[in-house]
């Protein structure tokens, strides 16, 4: 990650701000999900590397912008000061813009020989859809709108499906497209990712209540402070845990239906849901 | 422009914020520059439409982010309240993010039959380079860094070449790539756009002193207020006017060397430099 940014001819503070958040200790769940999906088709991991980096760039930009004073106003992320706390608000916004822009450059400019033009275009098209107004950005707007109001389970689902779900679905779909999946496999794997995304978000909400602050790297209870609607709030903590297990089960069922070498993806899904941070 | 956003399935406030700035009365210089370059090769204008929209989306996002309180803190743009004044800071940042993301989707997802995959990729690669850390975003960071400090002509040139120049160069290069330009033509047209970009910026600085507030849609003298370095400040007003003419002449010389049907591009260049707003 760092390497692809460090050579950029750009003001030092911008490069530093980009590297700072890329290297802030993320779990790299999204690139791993993409690469493991590709591997489940027997594909060479190198074919997925540029897209894997692109997705982490997009994820990182979204965290920088989400943390801004005008949005979640967070001081800490993964146990470190947020980007705008270190580099100032203007540079944080611009570092996010630059990461978002660069993610498309990574794919369009990829020199990996087996990465065909049509695959690049299909992946960039899906990436933009997942990350933009009809995906992640739309979810963030809906999330901000819902703050301090009381929403139902359907609205909560909409927010999460857009804010985090679409990008997780993209990871799996991009891995599958690179691995030459059939339409049927693509459809099963999209189901896998959709249920995994919901379970992932429920787990996130649970960690905000039960988690260890030192492990998750931010204060627990921040959802309550921001008066955010959460799964435990709508379903009780016990109900949320049960819902999480249900979606994990649905996700693994869809994964088996895809008829790929799914052991590592299954392991990854279990890790994502049982994680402590 | 409006049409391609209005059908998006996204929270209303986000769509409204995107449309608001797209429809705020821009001169559409960049799309026109692209389409006229394409026409100078005898290319069909439809081939350039998706890229022309993409470039206006990128330009619009950059204005929304530049106007933010943490950047230029502008209340007016083209005579109307800036995006964050109407929709709030969070929505303005997110509308910018969505426009930037969508610009790549317009190209990657273009269904125009003669727009080949390789042209799309080459154009997206150049677009990301021109708009990102090594282009426009880098220029904006350098511009913010320079505020209140005293910089020389070389540094001023760096800022403008990146903040506005690269994207203007992209418009011309994209039109030329779509029109199947030879390497030599591409190189001459890049020179044309580079000098035109410098002249454009000098003219902008002059308008900030001599312009009619009602025509330019924002208060004159804002560069002075923000203690920005400008060409008239470094070269005197008379010197800046002379420099502007010099770059226009160099730009027209390079245009003639490209050996294309250049009448309308020449007319456009003269309009850009002699404009009153």
Higher pLDDT, A2 or B152: B152
Contact assessment for residue A93 and residue A99, using Cβ atoms and an 8 Å cutoff: no
Residues of B in contact with A159 (CB under 8 A): none
For position B107, what pLDDT does the model report? Answer: 98
Which of A40-49, A216-225, A239-248, B68-77 is predicted least confidently? A216-225
User: Confidence class of residue B226 from pLDDT cuts 50, 70 and 90?
Assistant: low
Convert the pLDDT of each residue in B257-277 to its tens digit. 999 999 999 999 999 888 776
Q: How far is A20 from chain B (nearest CA, A)?
A: 15
Residue A5 lies in a domain: no
Residues of A in contact with B100 (CB under 8 A): 97, 100-101
Number of domains in chain B: 1
Which of A105, A129, A135 to substitute to test the interface with B, most B CBs within 10 Å?
A105
Which residues lie below 8 Å from residue A171, measured CB to CB, with a gap of 6+? A30, A31, A33, A34, A37, A55, A193
Which of A137, A159, A167 to substitute to test the interface with B, most B CBs within 10 Å?
A137
Q: Helix, strand or coil for residue A72?
A: coil
| Measured distance CA(B71)–CA(B226) in Å, rounded | 11
Residue A4 lies in a domain: no
Contacts by B10-13, CB closer than 8 A, 24 or more apart: B10/A133, B10/A134, B10/A137, B10/A138, B10/A141, B10/B98, B11/A138, B11/A141, B11/A142, B11/A145, B13/A141, B13/A145, B13/B87, B13/B91
Residue in the structure block whose two tokens are 């003419």: B245
User: Do the chains contact at A141 and B93, CB–CB below 8 Å?
Assistant: no
**pLDDT of residue B225 exceeding 70:** no
DSSP A81: E
For position A135, what pLDDT does the model report? Answer: 98
Residue A3 lies in a domain: no
Task: Produce one character per residue of A173-204: b if its CB has 16 or more CB atoms within 10 Å, e if not.
Answer: bbbbbbbebeeebbbbbbbbbbbbbbbbbbbb
Higher pLDDT, B149 or B83: B83
Q: Give the residue from A234, A223, A68, A63 showing the smallest Cα distance to A147.
A: A223
Which structure tokens are listed for B58? 């990128």
Domain range holding B68?
Answer: 11-274
User: Do the chains contact at B93 and A109, CB–CB below 8 Å?
Assistant: no
**pLDDT of residue B97 exceeding 70:** yes
Q: What is the mean pLDDT of residues A245-265?
A: 96
DSSP A116: -
**pLDDT of residue A226 exceeding 70:** no
Q: How far is A264 from chain B (nearest CA, A)?
A: 32
User: Do the chains contact at A14 and B124, CB–CB below 8 Å?
Assistant: no
Residue B3 lies in a domain: no
Contact assessment for residue A41 and residue A34, using Cβ atoms and an 8 Å cutoff: no
Q: What is the ipTM of this complex?
A: 0.95
**pLDDT of residue B27 exceeding 90:** no
Residues of A in contact with B96 (CB under 8 A): 97
Contact assessment for residue B126 and residue B135, using Cβ atoms and an 8 Å cutoff: no
A13 to chain B: closest CA residue: B141
| Measured distance CA(A176)–CA(B108) in Å, rounded | 19
Which residues lie below 8 Å from residue B1, measured CB to CB, with a gap of 6+? B22, B23, B53, B56, B57
| Measured distance CA(B12)–CA(B257) in Å, rounded | 49
Convert the pLDDT of each residue in A76-99 to its tens digit. 998 899 999 999 999 999 999 999
Domain of residue B164, CATH code: 1.10.600.10
Which structure tokens are listed for B182? 């030879």
Residue A50 lies in a domain: yes
B87 to chain A: closest CA residue: A141
**pLDDT of residue A199 exceeding 70:** yes
For position A3, what pLDDT does the model report? Answer: 79
Contact assessment for residue B255 and residue B262, using Cβ atoms and an 8 Å cutoff: yes
User: Confidence class of residue B238 from pLDDT cuts 50, 70 and 90?
Assistant: very high
| Measured distance CA(A39)–CA(B246) in Å, rounded | 58
A143 to chain B: closest CA residue: B11
| Measured distance CA(B232)–CA(B211) in Å, rounded | 13
Residue B179 lies in a domain: yes
User: Do the chains contact at B11 and A145, CB–CB below 8 Å?
Assistant: yes
Residue B1 lies in a domain: no
Residues of B in contact with A163 (CB under 8 A): none
B96 to chain A: closest CA residue: A97
User: Confidence class of residue B147 from pLDDT cuts 50, 70 and 90?
Assistant: confident
Residue in the structure block whose two tokens are 């813009």: A97
Residue A2 lies in a domain: no
For position B219, what pLDDT does the model report? Answer: 67
């Amino acid at each position: 990650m760092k390497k692809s940014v460090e050579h950029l001819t750009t003001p030092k503070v911008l490069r530093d701000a980009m590297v700072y958040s890329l290297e802030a200790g993320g779990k790299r769940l999204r690139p791993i999900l993409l690469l493991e999906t590709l591997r489940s088709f027997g594909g060479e991991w190198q074919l997925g590397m540029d897209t894997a980096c692109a997705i982490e760039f997009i994820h990182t930009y979204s965290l920088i912008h989400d943390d801004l004073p005008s949005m979640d106003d967070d001081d800490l992320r993964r146990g470190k000061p947020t980007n705008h706390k270190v580099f100032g608000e203007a540079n944080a916004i611009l570092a996010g813009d630059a990461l978002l822009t660069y993610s498309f450059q990574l794919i369009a400019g990829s020199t990996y020989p087996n990465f065909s033009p049509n695959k690049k275009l299909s992946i960039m098209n899906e990436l933009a859809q997942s990350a933009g107004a009809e995906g992640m950005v739309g979810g963030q707007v809906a999330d901000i709108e819902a703050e301090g109001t009381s929403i139902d389970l359907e609205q909560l689902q909409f927010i999460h499906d857009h804010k985090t779900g679409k990008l997780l679905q993209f990871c799996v779909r991009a891995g599958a497209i690179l691995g030459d999946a059939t339409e049927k496999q693509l459809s099963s794997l999209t189901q896998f990712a959709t249920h995994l995304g919901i379970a992932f978000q429920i787990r996130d909400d649970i960690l905000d209540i039960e988690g260890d602050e030192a492990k998750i790297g931010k204060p627990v209870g921040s959802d309550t402070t921001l008066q955010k609607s959460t799964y435990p709030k709508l379903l009780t903590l016990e109900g949320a845990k049960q819902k999480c297990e249900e979606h994990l089960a649905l996700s693994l069922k869809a994964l088996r239906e895809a008829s790929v070498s799914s052991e590592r993806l299954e392991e990854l899904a279990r890790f994502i849901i049982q994680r402590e941070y």
